Chain A
Amino acid sequence: MKTLISIYFILYILLILPSALPAFFEGCDLDIYTAYKQYKTDHIWNRQGKKINIHNDFRQREYQLFADYYFTRNDCLSLHSSFVEIEEILNRNTRGFTDPELIWTHCFYSNGTESLCTELTAIIPVAGQKHELRYGRFGGELGLYYSTCVDLSSHPVYFDATLGYRAYSGYPSDQIRNTFIVGSYLLPGFYLEGRTDLHFGVFNGKSHMHHPLVFFNANYRLLKAQIRGVLNIYSGFYVSLGCFGHVWGQNVGTGGGFLTEAWFVF
């Protein structure tokens, strides 16, 4: 496991450094985003969507690190990875890395207030499957991203939406994924953002678990809602505080939690 973590970090550095260094020197091409999320639940929605008590106190802490590198005006390469700690009363504590995602976003239409892009995601497993933490399988996603900004009662309001299809090798189900974001600059240097994330499993996975799973059931569906306030502390440095909740699902945990984020735009 230690070896795998080392390899992972080396790969991470190899991927990020070459992209980060020129950006540091050129001054505008790199975003680094960190987040801390806390989640807890003691219920799940089963396959039929019925809420059931799992008689187990499930708590998760997630440390996220994202890096976006714009290597042309229309192309961005992103790396998303997380370290997760899970504490349960009934089962052994689990910790480890989630499967990192490498995303290439290419904008093929942009007119200043609107843009339309494609997103190609590669999911690279760090190690084998781990309960509640990762599938440990290769995967890929192809999606469309649309973004627009309008003025509503003198407040600029932006809308972002993505729609994609994700497939994994092996047992996990394919998923249709959708994100919808709406945000508004309410005060100078402060904006409020609402977001929904839908992971809609098409249920073609092969479940080999016969017990409740809060996360990473081979076949799951989840609608998550989130709200956050973002403060621009100084040029290029942002912090945020928000909360999220699982609104609807099948084969997934109910509950919710809070998140705090910080990011730098170079």
Chain B
Amino acid sequence: MFNRSLVLLFFILTKSLQATTENKTEALQLVSPYLLPHHHPVKSKLDCIFKQSRVLLSIQSMKKAGFTPVEPRKFTRLIVTSHPQLTGYILKVYLDSQRNHKDRPEYVCWAKRVEGAQLIQKIINENGWNHLFKVPKQWIYALPSKPTAPKDFNSRNFVLVEENMGLLSARENKKMWASGKITKELLSALFAILAQVGLRDCCKIDNIPFSSDGRIAFIDTQTFNEGIPPYRRLTSSLRKDLREYWKSLKP
């Protein structure tokens, strides 16, 4: 009887370990092309911050570790945050105490974001539009193996590290989109990028804001190759004389 129980216990432990290992392997396979390189200047700083405590447990633990702001975004509940030691970079994170967004683990979202950013950058480079647009360089940072999240929580293993684009405020951005800065040439180029990459969520100015260097930054790169973008969403943000032109553009 005792032997049987031991065998059963061993079987359960092996199965559970196997499932965990399979999940980790799957995650690592997906993120490995996009991992933050060891020699990257912020790698050691991130290690230092995330080894001290379980930073991603809650809003309170994020604040305690020095991150600001830490409030989740309205729709995606994503936390876009920065840290005084990580000048020039921002972090996108989900907490251990949050549910998976759209039932997908965080690393799937990060991998999609990096892939989308690379696709956009490729088109910008091919067409020589770097003076008009930019995309933040993004990497996935694998959290140190310890400290771990408490057992009952949705343990996160990765965060997204992005170059800080120096974005204008929402108000300033709205002004820029209605100003003379927007030309037919810029709109044609933007239309081409949206159409070629199928950027569904980039037809609103909040996701393609102006940055302090005068370029438009693509900051929501997760939804690509998702059919025809809803171009009309942008129309109302444009100057009246450009609205008809925007509507006339065809893929």
Q: Residues on A close to B: CB < 8 A?
A: 44, 46-47, 52, 54-56, 89-92, 131, 210-212
Give the distance to chain A from B190, nearest Cβ to Cβ, in Å. 29
A210 in contact with B155 (CB, 8 Å): yes
Q: Please report the C-alpha to C-alpha distance between residue A95 and residue B165 in the assembled complex, in whole angstroms.
A: 36
Residues on B with beta carbons closer than 8 Å to the beta carbon of A56: 97-98
Give bound CA distance, A131 to B60, whole Å. Answer: 24
Q: Can you name 20 extra interface pairs (CB under 8 A) apart from A55-B97, A92-B77?
A: A46-B151, A46-B152, A47-B152, A52-B150, A54-B97, A55-B57, A55-B59, A55-B60, A56-B98, A89-B59, A89-B72, A90-B77, A90-B98, A90-B99, A91-B77, A91-B99, A210-B155, A211-B96, A211-B97, A212-B97
Tell me the complex Cα distance, A56–B97, Å: 7
B153-A91 in contact (CB<8A) = no
The yes or no answer to B58 lying at the interface (CB within 8 A) is: yes
Top 8 A-B pairs, shortest CB-CB distance: A55-B58, A211-B154, A55-B97, A90-B98, A46-B152, A91-B99, A56-B97, A210-B154
For residue A211, which residues in chain B have a CB less than 8 angstroms away from its CB? 96-99, 152-154
Bound complex: CA A117 to CA B95 (Å): 49
Does residue B2 face the partner (Cβ distance < 8 Å to A)? no
Whole-angstrom distance from the CB of A38 to the nearest CB of chain B? 22
Q: Which residues of A contact B99 (CB under 8 A)?
A: 90-91, 131, 211
Q: Which residues of B contact A55 (CB under 8 A)?
A: 57-60, 95, 97
Bound-state CA distance A90–B101 (Å) is: 11
Interface range for B: 10 to 19
A-B pair count, CB < 8 Å, reads 43
Which residues in window 89-146 of B have CB below 8 A to A?
Answer: 95-99
CB–CB B152/A91 < 8 A: no
Q: Is the CB of A91 within 8 A of B154?
A: no
Chain B interface main SS type: loop
30 contacts between A and B (CB under 8 A): A46-B151, A46-B152, A47-B152, A52-B150, A52-B152, A54-B97, A55-B58, A55-B59, A55-B60, A56-B97, A56-B98, A90-B59, A90-B77, A90-B95, A90-B98, A90-B99, A91-B77, A91-B98, A92-B75, A131-B99, A210-B153, A210-B155, A211-B96, A211-B97, A211-B98, A211-B99, A211-B152, A211-B153, A212-B97, A212-B152
Interface residues of B (CB under 8 A from A): 57-60, 72, 75, 77, 95-99, 150-155
Q: How far is the CA of A55 from the CA of B72 in the complex (A)?
A: 13
Main secondary structure of the interface of A (DSSP, over half): loop
A131 to B151, CA, bound (A): 20
- Chain A residues with CB under 8 Å of B155's CB are 210
Cα distance A56–B72 in the bound complex, in angstroms = 12
* A55 to B152 Cα, complex, angstroms: 12
Q: Which residue of B lies closest to A132 (CB)?
A: B99
Q: Which residues of B contact A44 (CB under 8 A)?
A: 152
Q: Is the CB of B153 within 8 A of A212?
A: yes
Contacts of A89 in B (CB 8 A): 59, 72
Hey, which chain A residues are within 8 Å of B77, CB to CB? 90-92
Residues of A within 8 A of B154 (CB): 210-211
- A235 → chain B closest CB, angstroms: 48
Complex CA gap A211/B152 in Å reads 6
- Which residues of B have CB within 8 Å of A131? 99
**Cα of A232 to Cα of B182 in the assembled complex, Å:** 68
Complex interface: chain B residues within 8 A of A52 (CB): 150, 152
In chain A, what residue has the closest Cβ to B95?
Answer: A90
Q: Which residues of A contact B153 (CB under 8 A)?
A: 210-212
Considering the chains assembled together, what is the distance between the CA atoms of A83 and B86 in angstroms?
45
Least Cβ–Cβ distance between A19 and chain B, in angstroms: 39
A150 to B153, CA, bound (A): 49
Residues of A within 8 A of B95 (CB): 55, 90
Q: Which residue of A lies closest to B97 (CB)?
A: A55
Residues of the B chain whose Cβ atoms lie less than 8 Å from the Cβ of A90: 59, 72, 77, 95, 97-99
Min C-beta distance of B62 to chain A, whole Å: 10
A131 to B150, CA, bound (A): 21
In the bound assembly, the distance between CA atoms of A212 and B151 in angstroms comes to 10
User: In the docked arrangement, what's the CA distance between A46 and B58, Å?
Assistant: 18
Residues of A within 8 A of B150 (CB): 52
Task: Report the minimal beta-carbon distance from A206 to chain B, rounded to whole angstroms.
Answer: 13
In the bound complex, CA of A54 to CA of B97 (Å): 6
Of B75, B96, B97, B153, the most chain A CB neighbours within 10 A belong to B97
For residue A219, give the distance in angstroms from its CB to the closest CB of chain B.
13
